[in-house]
Structure 1
Amino acid sequence: MKNKKEFTQFIDSLRADFIENKEQWENKTLEDYLEAVSRYTEDIDGYYKNTNQEIDLEKVDWQIFADVLKGSSFYE
């Protein structure tokens, strides 16, 4: 994800996925989802390590935001 426009399109697709596949999402309420966002953000370095991605988490970009939001949909 290179820019704000792509990130906005990603958010729109994430919203559509939630509407169409809500039963598949682990976190169905805003409260649960925001809690998962917080916890997933704390653990995202493990995700990148497990997927062999060298990401500098001190320089957050649109792709990292997208990864956090997507991962939080199923993070327990």
Structure 2
Amino acid sequence: MTKQEFIRFIEHLRKDFIQNKEQWENKTIEDYLEAMSRYTEGIDGYYKNTNQDLDLEKVDWKIFSDILKGSSVYK
């Protein structure tokens, strides 16, 4: 994922939150950031379960976008 693709992803995420807020698990920035921390701790399990072999010691734009998206539904 390029930087520009990541920027478009962030804009899409923002619009999704505005339009579908009721579907998001974390509706405040505090809850979202807390979920982001917990999701990041366990993201290796997500990648293992989806058969994705990624080096989580070298985070790129794709991994960061996965964290942001996953945090929207992670409790």
The share of aligned pairs that are identical, in percent, is 76
> Which residue of structure 1 aligns with residue 48 of structure 2?
49
1:33 aligns with 2:41: no
Structure 1 gaps, min length 5: none
Q: 1:29 is matched by which residue type in structure 2? A: T
Q: Which runs of 4+ in 1 moved over 6 A?
A: none
Shift of 1:17: 0.2
Cross-structure match for 1:18: 17
When the two chains are superposed, the root-mean-square deviation of aligned CA atoms in Å is: 0.4
Structure 2 unaligned spans of 5+:
none
TM value normalised by structure 2: 0.98
Equivalent pairs, count: 75
